[in-house]
Amino acid sequence: MEMLFGGNGRSDDLSYEGVRVVDPTEGIDEILNLTVEAGVITKIEPGSGGNGRVVAPAFVDPHVHLRTPGREDEEDISSGTKAAAAGGYCAILAMPNTEPAVDSAAVLGALVERAKDEAEIPVGFLAAISKGQEGAELTEMVDLAERGAAGFTDDGRPVASPGLLRRALQYHAVTGRRIAVHCEEAALSRGGQVHEGLVSAELGFGGYPSVAESVMVGRDLMLAAYENQPIHLLHLSARESVDELRSARSAGVQASGEVTPHHLCLTDEVVRSLDPNVKMNPPLRAEEDRQALLEALKDGTIEAIATDHAPHARYEKDVPFEEAPFGVTGLETAFSVLYTRLVEPGTLSLAALIDRMSAGPARIYGLERPRIAVGARANLVVLDLERTWRVEESGFRSRSPNSWLLGQTLKGKVVETVANGKLAYSA
């Protein structure tokens, strides 16, 4: 059953001579010549030299807010998928917390049609678990799955009722589409603006404690274990959540997790700037949390890096920190910032970064894994690891400028993206 839509229309002929090809799943890291004919990889031959560029399986972002329908002023399918192509992605999954929410076959069907016309790269849509994401009534999950929903989530909000989440997990046995949960116990996070810790104490912010996430992670994992159905934990931020995920996985629960570039690179110390572009949900946490997330990413407890790309109009973020909405963009900077902050200093290997940005998220949602093999559709990213560039608003394809990286210089750049056989981006 199809889960990705649009982005087709062309199958290109491409060739790469003497490039370093890295595909961790295929066990490739060598200098090769690569030929793509009519969108399919047809030749992989030994090459020589090496022009400083790396060709890898293109990335998959399992967590993007395309703001469509409802807030096309912030992002739409065209701008969001163009931004994704520029970030090296060959597929993205959009979250259903739109206006209206993607909670019926009609809304989903309209999105699929728009994607076929407008998407630069293939895009999939998660549907809501509850009608209107209000946490009361289950959506018609079987119907939605048949119409192409890539998974189910009430992201942006937790599934407050354990009874409702249990029902959704039970329907997974029929739909086979992953249930993804935003873990937040609202009774503990209410009024919370930033991580509850030393920085919130000093600055006077209402705290959003780690335990608000981890108690919900614990509950949701228990429900998944009881129903013996898989569950995916969105944007993990706290050490305790990671511990819960690790022990559930080792107990055989089919649980997966994702982490964002900002939670891997920043801590709540940056909140001292009171810059609304470092305000997100879940919030940036302490250094020990960041270290735990890194460890989990390295050991595979967390399989996927997700941008949680959350565009906001400038006027909505140009307000006092406390009034600003949660969320930052990330599609166009994810690889570069993680390469600069984690791979260059030796914290994470390039192979692990590529795996967590590509094969990991594809596996979670059952999407076809981008791979470098003869006969495979070309889903490739070309990376220039030596190139430095400055993150500037004028360079964004996204409609919204709320990046936490504005003005910063990064090393490593996506220079070409091939998505489903089509050259979708070229720097």
Partner 1 sequence: MAEVTPLIRDELLPPRGPERRHLISITDLAKDDVERLLALARTFSASLEREVKKLPALKGRTVVNMFFESSTRTSSSFELAAKRLSADVMSIKATGSAVDKGESLKDTALTIGAYDPDVIVLRHPHIGAPHVIANATTAHVVNAGDGTHQHPTQALLDLYTIDEELGGIAGLHVAIVGDVLHSRVARSDIQALVLMGARVTVVGPPPLIPRGIESMGCEVSYDIETIKHADVVYVLRMQKERMLEGANYVPSLREYTARWGVTPERLRPGQKVMHPGPMNRGVEIDPVVADAADALIERQVRSGLVVRMAVLYDLLTHGPVEVKVAEIEEVA
CB of 343 to partner 1, least distance (A): 10
Nearest CB to partner 1, comparing residues 114 and 317: 317
CB of 373 to partner 1, least distance (A): 31
CB of 303 to partner 1, least distance (A): 20
CB of 339 to partner 1, least distance (A): 12
Nearest CB to partner 1, comparing residues 338 and 372: 338
Residue entry with tokens 């192409």:
148
Residue ranges binding partner 1 (CB under 8 A): 190-191, 193, 196-198, 200-207, 265-267, 269-270, 272-276, 278, 287, 291, 295, 315, 318-324, 341-342, 345-348, 404, 407-408
Residue entry with tokens 């991580």:
195
Query: What secondary structure does DSSP assign to 137-178, as a single string?
Result: SB--HHHHHHTTEEEEE-TTS----HHHHHHHHHHHHHH-PP
Nearest CB to partner 1, comparing residues 49 and 204: 204
Question: Cα dihedral angle (340, 342, 344, 348), rounded to 10 degrees?
Answer: -150
Catalytic residue among 23, 308, 355, 384: 308
The two tokens of residue 31 are 């200098």
Nearest CB to partner 1, comparing residues 266 and 280: 266
CB of 203 to partner 1, least distance (A): 6
Q: Give the whole-angstrom CA distance, residue 37 versus residue 355.
A: 25
Query: Is residue 268 flagged as an active site residue?
Result: no
Residue type, 320: P
Question: Quick one: DSSP state of residue 309?
Answer: B
Radius of gyration of the chain (CA): 20
Residue entry with tokens 């990705």:
4
Most distant pair of Cα atoms in the chain: their distance: 61
Nearest CB to partner 1, comparing residues 146 and 288: 288
* CA proximity to 366, closest of 320, 272, 303: 303
The set of catalytic residues is 308
